Structure 1
Amino acid sequence: MQIPTSSPIVHPLVSRVMLLFLWFILSDLVHFASDCQAQKKVSICFGSASSSLLPIALEQGYFRAEGVEMELRPFTSGKNALQAMLDGKCDLATTAQTPVVHHSMIRRDFLIVANLSLSDDFEKIVVRTDRGILKGADLKGRRIALPEFTTQHYLLDTFLAYNGLKNTDVQRVYLHHNEVIKAFQRGEVDAVVHREPETTHLVEEFAGKAKIMPSPGLCVAIYALVGKRDFVQGNSATIAKVLRALVWAEEFAKKEPSRAKAIAAKTYNADQAEIERIWSAHHFRVTLDQPLLFLLENMARWQIGLLPTAQRKPMPNYLDFLYLDALKSVKPEAVTIIH
């Protein structure tokens, strides 16, 4: 004889609780899968310590918190970093406005998404005092090494004009960043234009035979985050995440300057004194402000003026090279460009 069985009776309230519990579990799994899928790999080519917000954001985990798997690729200069990005070796790059303006004369396939820092005394001119160079006018007829179409190039031209000299009054030796200092050390040139901390090291090495020519305010440089137009416009949400991480890094640098400097010192292999000089010469802020537009246009006038009259073209409209939407969505008060 078969013993009859009956299905267990489940109270309706218990059923609803179980269903709700399962819904939460499945919801968490979906969100987890979505977050994993949303992890976006981004690479940034960067140059000098003017880009210090990048390693700070990486070290503090701000990129990771935004779902961005960040790779920072160091280069000897912003000029080289920008060229690498344009050549497809990274997604974004940091660089001063001089290389940006130089490329804007011949191509329009890139955008500035933010400015990360500003400086007016980072690039410097070192001269051989043992060769009789004591003031600006003494540079007349001298050989000066520098990288072409860089902030250093602009500083030299501005310094010469400030001291009553023409561009043709000096002999320029255009070299790669890595070779500029070596030319000075070998005695092949009378002066160089470079940046900190290399300029201070050079003066210390020559112990009384060289000095830095004062030039604060003659060259105001910005250090922008730049990307290919297609990449920026096609990854607007990712660009916003990158900028949000950098805004966090900016706040960290303000609240914890000692820790921020320590991260920068480790990244750029600088000692405490070097990083203090670099820090004092910079304002680290994530912005897109009106002075940026002025600096781009001013640099463009200078570069156009270097060309023979027949080769000069109209100045580009730099509003066309700015991507405002991402920073507006992250920190709207940082976008003050009139457009």
Structure 2
Amino acid sequence: MLRIALFFSFLLLSWAAQAAPLRIGVSETILSLPLYIAESEGFFQKRGVNVEFVNCVGGNRCVKNMLDGQTDLSTATELPVVFNSFTRKDFAILTSFVSVSNDLKVVARTDSKITEPGKLRDKTLGYVKGGASQYVLDLVLVYNGIDPDTVKLKTITPETALAALANKEVDALCIWEPFASRIELELGTDVQLVPIPKLYTETFNLIAMQSAIKSKPQELERLVRALKDSTQFIQTHPEKAKALAAKRLKIPVLVVDKIFDDYRYRLSLNRSLPRTMEGQARWALREGHVEASLPQPNYSGFLYPAFLKTVDPGAVSLQ
């Protein structure tokens, strides 16, 4: 029996090595840690799936690359899914693999004296368009009774965030990790975190083109299995996971250690996800971020739970 098992394992690995790789747009963030773990610990190989990472900065870019045909899958929060759902329906979320309510930070110049969210009023604020940065900044403003029209909004990118603060182009900005921590390390006492309420729990998701779902179902199921291996590894070997995150993101382990417990790494597809997306769609329509005449999509159609139901049935609760 052992010989038979080894033989079939060899066949599976040989098949995976010969198959065209699944190309995945992987965002440069601690949220992508399960992908990094799966690569580092050999879980893709173990599950017999050939994977190629296409690194990108920000889930919105990862999704754009996927929709442009550069990758089969992408990693992103649900926000880029919502923004793109108004104009096309040829992609779906296969699973969430981490949730967090403190990944987005508001970083302010110390000399701007923004010590609390209410002092964002009348300031110049930076945000990354088309993703959670834009959404969270708007939530923080509205929650604190600040009309977004009374602040000056400036579009930034993750790469220009530090310079925007250093050069006083903005008074504060909303950015995710590890960029927030990198800014703190680089600018030191010139910047400070603004304490904001936890108004939004974001998910980070594995998103696939429908063409890949139809043409590569076995490979995608194996990919989901590898991610389950990774999330379990993170839970049982947190120190090793932290060390890998620090190495991949090029930040000190002490920084990773400070934020690590904010992230809940596990596979899931819950009813809260489409509900959150429905609320985000209403926000996007109301605030003019998408064409107001477009109908609001049904977000259950942007979830594909079949692979997760096979891999981990208890992780799916969409009813």
| Gap change, CA 1:141 and 1:251, over 3 Å in 2 | same
Matched, 1:258 2:239: yes
- Report the count of equivalent residues: 314
Residue 317 of structure 2 aligns to a residue whose secondary structure is coil
Q: Deviations over 1:152-197 (max 9, x none)?
A: 1111111001111011011011122211221111111111111223
One of 15, 18, 37 as aligned partner of 2:15: 37
Q: 1:145 is matched with which residue?
A: 126
What residue identity is the alignment partner of 1:265? A
Q: Deviations over 1:247-271 (max 9, x none)?
A: 0111111111111222222222221
What residue identity is the alignment partner of 2:14? C
Q: 1:115 is matched with which residue?
A: 96
Structure 1 residues 73-82 or 28-37, which shifts more? 28-37
User: How many Å apart are 1:128 and its aligned residue?
Assistant: 2.2
Residue 283 of structure 1 aligns to a residue whose secondary structure is coil
User: How many Å apart are 1:310 and its aligned residue?
Assistant: 7.7
User: How many Å apart are 1:207 and its aligned residue?
Assistant: 4.0
What residue identity is the alignment partner of 1:42? L
Q: 2:311 is matched with which residue?
A: 330
* Structure 1 Cα separation of the partners of residues 184 and 236 of structure 2: 33
User: How many Å apart are 1:31 and its aligned residue?
Assistant: 8.4
What residue identity is the alignment partner of 2:24? I
Q: Is the 8 A contact 1:121 1:215 kept in 2?
A: no
Matched, 1:74 2:55: yes
TM-score, with length taken from structure 1? 0.86
Residue 297 of structure 1 aligns to a residue whose secondary structure is helix
Q: 1:187 is matched with which residue?
A: 168
Q: 1:53 is matched with which residue?
A: 34
Q: Deviations over 1:297-338 (max 9, x none)?
A: 121121111128982433211111111111111111111111
Q: 1:240 is matched with which residue?
A: 221
Q: Is the 8 A contact 2:178 2:249 kept in 1?
A: no
Residue 71 of structure 1 aligns to a residue whose secondary structure is strand
Q: Is the 8 A contact 2:94 2:308 kept in 1?
A: yes
User: How many Å apart are 1:246 and its aligned residue?
Assistant: 0.6
Q: 2:72 is matched with which residue?
A: 91
* Structure 1 Cα separation of the partners of residues 135 and 307 of structure 2: 30
Give ranges in structure 2 of 5+ residues lacking alignment: none
Give ranges in structure 1 of 5+ residues lacking alignment: 1-23
- What is the CA RMSD across the aligned residues, in angstroms? 2.3
* Structure 2 Cα separation of the partners of residues 229 and 137 of structure 1: 44
Q: 1:133 is matched with which residue?
A: 114
What residue identity is the alignment partner of 2:105? K
Residue 99 of structure 2 aligns to a residue whose secondary structure is strand
User: How many Å apart are 1:38 and its aligned residue?
Assistant: 5.0
* Structure 2 Cα separation of the partners of residues 204 and 63 of structure 1: 34
| Gap change, CA 1:310 and 1:303, over 3 Å in 2 | closer
Q: Is the 8 A contact 1:49 1:268 kept in 2?
A: yes
* Structure 2 Cα separation of the partners of residues 28 and 275 of structure 1: 38
Matched, 1:211 2:192: yes
